Amino acid sequence: MSTKEAAPWESPTLANASRTLTMCRAQREAVEWEMTNDPNVFMVGEDISGFGGVFGTADGLGAKFGLDRVIDMPISETGFMGLAAGAAMEGMRPIVELAYVDFIGVCFNALANFAAKTHFMSGGQFKVPMVLLTGTGAGYSNAAQHSQCMHATLAHMPGIKVVSPTNAYDAKGMMHTAIRDDNLVVFMVHKGASGVGFMGPLVKTSLADVPQGDYTVPFGKVKVYREGTDVSIVAVGLAVHHALQAAEELAKDGISAEVVDLRSLVPLDRDGIMESVAKTGRLVVADEDYLSYGVSGEVIATVVERDPTVLKAPARRVCVPDVSIPFSRPLEYSILPVASRIADAARAVMSNDRGKGRV
Amino acid sequence: MSLTSDVRRKMYEVMVRSRAFDDRLTEQYWIDKKPIFAFGAGPLPGELHTSHGQEPVGAGVCAALLADDMITTGHRPHHIAVARGVDLKSLTAEIFGRKTGLSGGRGGHMHIYDKRVNFSSSGIIAEGLGPAAGMALARKMQGKPGIGISFIGEGAVNQGAFHEVMNIVGVFKLPFICVIEDNKYAVTTHKSASTATERNSDRATCYGMTGEFVSGNDPDLIYAAAERAVTRARTGGGGTILEVETARLLGHFMGDPGGYITGERKLYQVDPIPIYRRRLIDENILTEATASALELAVNTEVNEAMRFAAESPFPDPIDALNCTFAD
């Protein structure tokens, strides 16, 4: 089921006062609240206590909670991912900061072979409640090793929850949910939408009114940002904002696009995907991760496995076409799932309409 | 604690129990694996890494620990699990993939978890180091007692995780012991061919830790060194790298004939259990009669555990779908 929440730039109807925040500030508030209210929550990472993390995820937390709870680590991701997992097994709730998800290769073993499998292999004896907070994404000429999304690489491994909020309201609520979850949660935020100053202009649709107090946003529910009747644009991460822009363009052509944010890849809201596609009959998936063997294929497989007859036309994918992220701006923008590519795909799906039942 | 007669008898008993356990497993392992050897065949499928020869390390170190201490280890975990007091029946059932196993058959012999005695093992080299240090960190933050102990083989020191975790232990002065079981061979590769230093305990200096090296595969010396390391860890003296020369009497895994161990290098393959038995009798800690009685009792206990496992049902296939996530 999709949740019909207020659009993120509208005020959520919550009792406590709210302010418009960036994702980065909003999720940081959740971390601060949890650290204040649960002595087992602590943070480890590189350059977090004073600098606040490269993308501001720990800004001010070192000064507030001290170096014993906001622990600066050496450049030893294998070591401190394992460390966090062990601490989690003994009842702590570590939040590990890994500035760029691109670096996950050096500690993938500690995550995928240890943290993700311990609950299973121990038959439920040991829980590993830890959050890995990491930045994803391209669009600012940081080239092939600092621009990847890698949603699917993580989502593919059993035992890892993978979420990627796209607005400040969700970022805070999902961070509360992540910290309180008893599993390894990888919390992926697109750097371009996080609201960090040096990432360029703010993405307006990522800003939201955020309540002061704590609240949770559940995992495994899509968010319908914009309702439509002709085509579903199912997206993840920054591509959601590109899709919203594409929907504006399409509206000028008389095409009514529904924009669905997955928000959570594991667990995946397959019912929510199906509900939207069954309504519109057409599907475009937009994802900044690599095209093949990824989230976009999973979304389409969901529809095909449930009921391919809902599709009036073949689905299309707008992803990075299985190449590394180039440095040069025109090269980079040619392969990202920007609004024009999404709109083109939607138009193609519309013109490719072969009538319901003739898929 | 000190090296009392009771401790020494207990260490002998633990070594005998571990050996009997591995001997019974070995018998079961070869069923339906001859004349054609296949990992997946027989009542005990998969790889099997027994601890023949390494019993003194588990016995000596674990005798110096308290119940609050937390152990992680690797793919050759039996002697440490037995020494730590992991429930023998549940352990055996796990190795046979039964419903009554520690993890309901999801883990198997390389993945032994028993939260009741703070024990876990993981099949990937050097992977337990970070978690054991993290467990120690957790207890420190919670103000609870307990130190972290990770057992690795001498080959594991050449993993990046070793360097990373030892440095973290040194930087944060964590109550931690890295026990290196130097059985000379990383699968088939001799220590001299893989490692640029003879004694990995020498590396401790670089990490602000204390190094201890114990030769001779001698439980008394291992216990004494472990006790020093435990005292340091409990009193804020930081971590220890404790390297113990031990012996791998068989191949890397069952089915590996170990033909690459030749010439003088075979001389290290000395069975430590008869030597320790002789010593305890000579020093009047045991008599021939009490030793035999102890061995009989332990073998009976192991046989009962094997019977318990064999008579236990296999898990319901639906159990494969449980436990991926904590609810």
- Confidence (pLDDT) at A8: 44
Residue B245 inside a domain? The answer is yes
> What is the rounded end-to-end Cα distance, in angstroms, of chain B?
42
Binary contact (B326, A109; C-beta < 8 A): no
- B147-184 pLDDT, tens digit per residue, is 999 999 999 999 999 999 999 999 999 999 999 999 99
- A76-85 pLDDT, tens digit per residue, is 999 999 999 9
Nearby residues of A356 by Cβ (< 8 Å), 6 or more positions away: A281, A309, A312
User: In chain A, what residues touch B72 (CB-CB under 8 Å)?
Assistant: 86
Residue B177 inside a domain? The answer is yes
Which among A76, A77, A120 is the nearest to B324, CB-wise?
A: A120
Nearby residues of B38 by Cβ (< 8 Å), 6 or more positions away: none
Binary contact (B165, A79; C-beta < 8 A): yes
- The Cα–Cα gap between B218 and B231 comes to 20
CA A76 to chain B, closest CA, distance in angstroms equals 5
CA B99 to chain A, closest CA, distance in angstroms equals 10
User: In chain B, what residues touch A110 (CB-CB under 8 Å)?
Assistant: 127, 130, 161
Measured CA to CA in angstroms, residue B173 lies from A77, A87, A111, B134, B163 at distances of 18, 15, 24, 12, 15
- Confidence (pLDDT) at A9: 41
Binary contact (A124, B114; C-beta < 8 A): no
For residue B69, what pLDDT band results from cuts at 50, 70 and 90? very high
Which residue, B217, B275, B218, B250, is CA-closest to B52?
Answer: B250
Tokens of A116: 């993700």
CA-angle at B192, arms to B189 and B198, nearest 5°: 135
Give the mean model confidence (pLDDT) for residues B212-234: 98
Mean pLDDT of chain B: 97
Sketch out chain A's domains with CATH numbers: 18-211 (3.40.50.970), 223-351 (3.40.50.920)
- Confidence (pLDDT) at B297: 98
Residue B318 inside a domain? The answer is no
Percent of chain B scoring above 90 in pLDDT: 98
Tokens of B320: 């494969």
- B2-22 pLDDT, tens digit per residue, is 899 999 999 999 999 999 999
Which among B111, B142, B168 is the nearest to A91, CB-wise?
A: B142
Q: How much is the pTM? A: 0.93
- Here the CATH number for the domain that contains residue B103 is 3.40.50.970
* Helices (H), ranges, A253-294: 270-280
**Chains A & B: contacts with CB separation below 8 Å:** 158
Q: What's the number of CA atoms in the CB half-sphere (13 Å) around residue B171? A: 17
- Confidence (pLDDT) at A40: 98
- Confidence (pLDDT) at B283: 98
User: In chain B, what residues touch A122 (CB-CB under 8 Å)?
Assistant: 102-103, 106-107, 111, 113, 115, 120
Give the mean model confidence (pLDDT) for residues B294-316: 98
The larger pLDDT score, comparing residue A357 to residue B86, is at B86
CB B96 within 8 A of CB B310: yes
The structural domain count of chain B equals 1
- Confidence (pLDDT) at A16: 62
- Confidence (pLDDT) at A53: 86
CB B130 within 8 A of CB A82: yes
pLDDT over 90 (residue B89)? yes
CA A163 to chain B, closest CA, distance in angstroms equals 15
User: In chain A, what residues touch B135 (CB-CB under 8 Å)?
Assistant: 86-87, 89-90
Please provide the size of chain B in residues: 327
Residue B319 inside a domain? The answer is no
Residue B33 inside a domain? The answer is yes
**Residue B180 β-bridge partners:** B152, B243
Binary contact (A85, B130; C-beta < 8 A): yes
CA B62 to chain A, closest CA, distance in angstroms equals 20
- Confidence (pLDDT) at A56: 82
- The Cα–Cα gap between B130 and B117 comes to 19
Q: Could you give the 3-state DSSP secondary structure of residue A160?
A: strand
Whether the CB of A156 is below 8 Å from some CB of chain B: the reply is no
Tokens of B314: 């296999």
Q: What number is the ipTM of this complex? A: 0.93
Binary contact (B326, A119; C-beta < 8 A): yes
- The Cα–Cα gap between A84 and B174 comes to 14
CA B281 to chain A, closest CA, distance in angstroms equals 40
Please provide the DSSP assignment of B196-265 as one string: SSS-GGGGGGGGT-EEEEE-S--HHHHHHHHHHHHHHHHTT---EEEEEE----S-SSTT---TT--GGG
Binary contact (B135, A87; C-beta < 8 A): yes
Percent of chain B scoring above 70 in pLDDT: 100
For residue A11, what pLDDT band results from cuts at 50, 70 and 90? very low
What residues of chain B have any CB closer than 8 angstroms to a CB in chain A?
A: 70, 72, 101-104, 106-107, 111, 113-115, 120, 122, 124, 127, 129-139, 141-142, 148, 160-161, 163-165, 167-168, 171-172, 322-327
Cis peptide bond prior to B35, omega within 30° of 0: yes
For residue A15, what pLDDT band results from cuts at 50, 70 and 90? very low
For residue B227, what pLDDT band results from cuts at 50, 70 and 90? very high
Binary contact (B165, A83; C-beta < 8 A): yes
3-state helix, strand, coil in chain A (%, to 5): 40, 20, 40
Residue A32 is which amino acid? E
Which among A82, A110, A159 is the nearest to B325, CB-wise?
A: A159
CB interface of A with B, residues 73-112, below 8 Å: 73-74, 76-92, 94, 106, 109-110
CA A130 to chain B, closest CA, distance in angstroms equals 12
pLDDT over 90 (residue A3)? no
Mutate to test the interface with B, among A41, A68, A71, A89 (most CBs of B within 10 A): A89
- B25-63 pLDDT, tens digit per residue, is 999 999 999 999 999 999 999 999 999 999 999 999 999
The answer for B14, left when phi > 0, alpha when psi is -120 to 50, beta otherwise, is: alpha
For residue B294, what pLDDT band results from cuts at 50, 70 and 90? very high
- The Cα–Cα gap between A292 and A139 comes to 20
- Confidence (pLDDT) at A54: 82
Binary contact (B120, A118; C-beta < 8 A): yes
CB B44 within 8 A of CB B29: yes
Give the mean model confidence (pLDDT) for residues B292-300: 98
Question: Would you name the residues of A annotated as active-site residues?
Answer: 77, 146
- A253-312 pLDDT, tens digit per residue, is 999 999 999 999 999 999 999 999 999 999 999 999 999 999 999 999 999 999 999 999
pLDDT over 60 (residue A356)? no
pLDDT over 50 (residue A19)? yes
- Confidence (pLDDT) at A354: 59
pLDDT over 70 (residue A4)? no
Positive or negative torsion for Cα A239, A240, A244, A249:
positive
Whether the CB of A155 is below 8 Å from some CB of chain B: the reply is no
User: In chain A, what residues touch B132 (CB-CB under 8 Å)?
Assistant: 86
- Confidence (pLDDT) at A210: 96
Which among B72, B106, B141 is the nearest to A121, CB-wise?
A: B106
- The Cα–Cα gap between A1 and A20 comes to 27
Give the mean model confidence (pLDDT) for residues B112-116: 98
Which among B124, B139, B325 is the nearest to A90, CB-wise?
A: B139
- Confidence (pLDDT) at B151: 98
Q: What's the number of CA atoms in the CB half-sphere (13 Å) around residue A246? A: 32
pLDDT over 70 (residue A13)? no
Which residue, B79, B77, B83, is CA-closest to B63?
Answer: B83
**Residue B69 β-bridge partners:** none
Which among A74, A78, A158 is the nearest to B171, CB-wise?
A: A74
Parent domain of B114: 5-313
Residue B99 inside a domain? The answer is yes
The answer for B257, left when phi > 0, alpha when psi is -120 to 50, beta otherwise, is: alpha
Nearby residues of B77 by Cβ (< 8 Å), 6 or more positions away: B51, B109, B110, B112, B121
3-state helix, strand, coil in chain B (%, to 5): 50, 10, 40
Element (H, E) at B16: helix B5-29
